[in-house]
Amino acid sequence: MSDIKIFTTGGTIDKVYYDAKSDFQIGDPQIEPILQEAGVTLSFEVQSLLRKDSLEMTDEDRARVREAVQQDSHQRILITHGTDTMIDTALALGDCADKTVVLTGAMQPARFRITDAVFNVGFALGVAMSHPAGVYVAMNGQVFDPRKSVKNRAEGRFEASQ
């Protein structure tokens, strides 16, 4: 069995923009190229669950993610996810606390020359491999408890909630 299971759900990290006037599309998951280019030596398995902008995710989609996490035999799981509703999905995973589950994403697509995707994925992988069982959001060098955090859309970052 691999060291970690990675589920992809879409979001900005996997977005493709064809030109300034076109709509985006969710492309192929970018997690494998990111990890390969980074020289990650852990063994991992990737499974694509969804290819959606997180604003389009439904309660049924979150249930599908929760079921995949619960049914998987891995104890360490990383989920790439759109940032707008990442907290919602993390909260839906609250009953998966017997595993270490980390959600991460990006504010800029992984395909862009300047992106936070590579850093966020590497950081989240480290969190998944080093933290005890629980559900976490790992973004921009910080680990958040989804029950006590929010996305600050104006600043483009996650923060602890008051």
Question: Is 84 annotated as ligand-binding?
Answer: yes
Number of residues in the chain: 162
- Read off the tokens for 52: 């959606």
SS3 percent helix, strand, coil of the chain, rounded to 5, is: 35, 30, 40
For 20, counting Cβ atoms within 10 Å of its Cβ (0-12 exposed, 13-18 middle, 19+ buried), the class is: exposed
> Rounded distance, CA 4 to CA 104, Å?
14
DSSP 80-119: E--STTHHHHHHHTGGGTTSEEEEE--SS-TTSSS-SHHH
Active-site residues: which are they?
Answer: 12
Question: Is 89 annotated as ligand-binding?
Answer: no
Give SS3 for 70.
Answer: helix
Question: Is 3 annotated as ligand-binding?
Answer: no
Which residues contribute to the annotated binding site? 54, 83-84
Which residues contribute to the annotated binding site for substrate? 54, 83-84
